[in-house]
Each structure stands twice: as C-alpha cells, then as structure tokens.
Chain A
Amino acid sequence: QVQLQESGPGLVKPSETLSLTCTVSGGSISNYFWSWIRQPPGKGLEWIGYIYYTGSTDYNPSLKSRVTISVDTSKNQFSLKLNSVTAADTAVYYCARPNWGNWYFDLWGRGTLVTVSS
C-alpha cells in the first residue's frame, strides 16, 4: 500500500530555511494532490499548502510569503521549504494525501518534529 515518509533536519536555526522531503512509496505520485500540514506541540493542525503532481500549488495565506512546495516526479517525492523561520514554526510536520477528488486526508506520513532554536 502507499506510504509517506517525511525526512529532513530536526533542528533549524532562527532566520534560516526549514527544508523537508516527503517520499511516496508503494505507489505513484502522479495524478494526485499532495499536502503539508503542521502541528505545534500541544496544539491543533494547520494546513500549509498543496502541490499537484504537475507542479501547480496553493498555499495558506498566513504562510504564503515564506513557503515553497515543489515536486520531483522522477524520485516520487515532494518537498517543503519554509524560510525565515522563528520559534513559532516549531512543529510536527506531516505530509498527507487527500482522497482523489476531494480534500479529506486519508493518507498521512508519521510526521517529523522540527525545532527552531539557536
């Protein structure tokens, strides 16, 4: 079955760029939308943005000026970059896939904690 796995540094310094990759295994990245969602420790869920396998994107306006999501279909991966990070960006970052044709997330990665600290 299709599985998602986030990878990237667990510690990022303030003002630097957070970079994460989600690897899709057991299936193709093609023909689906893919999203990043984050959750600060002890808090709720925040949708960051999505990318279609063709490269089209949409982002949460609250993060839009700092976020870039990209896709590499040859590697079956998509990536998140968040620049100018602060402590408020400390969170568990999940990659997720919505049901085909709608926006309910039925497939999630295990999540990766990224801490912003000097």
Chain B
Amino acid sequence: DIQMTQSPSSVSASVGDRVTISCRASQGISSYLAWYQQKPGKAPKLLVYAASSLQSGVPSRFSGSGSGTDFTLTISSLQPEDFATYYCQQANSFTLTFGGGTKVEIK
C-alpha cells in the first residue's frame, strides 16, 4: 500500500493567516491526489482533486499543488469556517489510502 504522511498533525492559526499543509506519498502517485475538509460530526468534503483542481463551489482561497510524492494544500487567507481537519488521499492505485489528517485550530 502507498502510505500518505501529512504534516503538521495540527496547526494553530488566526483568521487571515496563510496556512500550508503538506502531504507526502511513500511512492510516486503522479497527480492522483485529493484534499478533503472535515468538520466535527460531518462527512469529509472534497476540496481539491487531481492535486490542483478546485472542486466546484470551493472558495478560491483554497489551492493545491505538487506531483510525484510531495503535495501541498494552501489556504491563502484563513476564514472562521475553515477551522477543521484536512485529509489527503491518493487515487493512484488500490488500496486507496488517506493521510492521518491535519487539524487547523484557532490561535
């Protein structure tokens, strides 16, 4: 299986801050990577797919980049509704696998 490692596991930030979350794959996955946002008690929500394509309806302050083994999710100006946990997921090969999550907390 391809292992997905996210860092940091948590980050404290203020409204308006730029936040960057990293995801590393244990082997190359081309651009077959997605990012999800999950709020407590809710299902994950797809934000970015194919490493850098924004899902319909997702605010443009979210962006994704990377290919191969290293990927980044950036929130350009953190908003109150962005405090949540973020997960990456590789879609290159089965078994589909997720990163361990990054919790974005209020500073």
A109 adjacent to chain B (CB < 8 Å): yes
B76-96 interface mask toward A, CB cutoff 8 Å, 1 = contact, 0 = none?
000000000001010100111
Residues of A in contact (CB 8 Å), total 21
Pairwise interchain contact B98-A47, C-beta atoms closer than 8 A:
yes
Our pick among A45, A58, A61, A109 for the contact of B87 (Cβ within 8 Å) is: A45
| A residues less than 8 Å from B95 (CB atoms) | 47, 60-62
- Contact: A44 with B87, CB < 8 Å? yes
Of B43, B55, B94, B98, the contact of A108 (CB 8 Å cutoff): B43
Q: Per-residue 0/1 for B15-47: is the Cβ within 8 Å of any A Cβ (1 yes, 0 no)?
A: 000000000000000001010100000111110
Given contacts A44-B87, A44-B99, A45-B87, contact A104 B94 (CB under 8 A): no
The A contact surface, by secondary structure, is: loop
A94 to chain B, nearest CB (A): 6
Inter-chain contact A105/B44, CB cutoff 8 Å? yes
Contact B87 A102 (CB under 8 A): no
B residues whose Cβ falls under 8 Å from a Cβ of A: 1, 32, 34, 36, 42-46, 49-50, 55, 87, 89, 91, 94-101
Chain A residues close to B by CB (< 8 Å):
44-47, 58, 60-62, 94, 96, 98-99, 102-106, 108-111
Q: A105-B36, A105-B44 are in contact. List 6 more A-B contacts (CB 8 A).
A: A44-B98, A96-B43, A103-B91, A106-B46, A108-B43, A110-B43
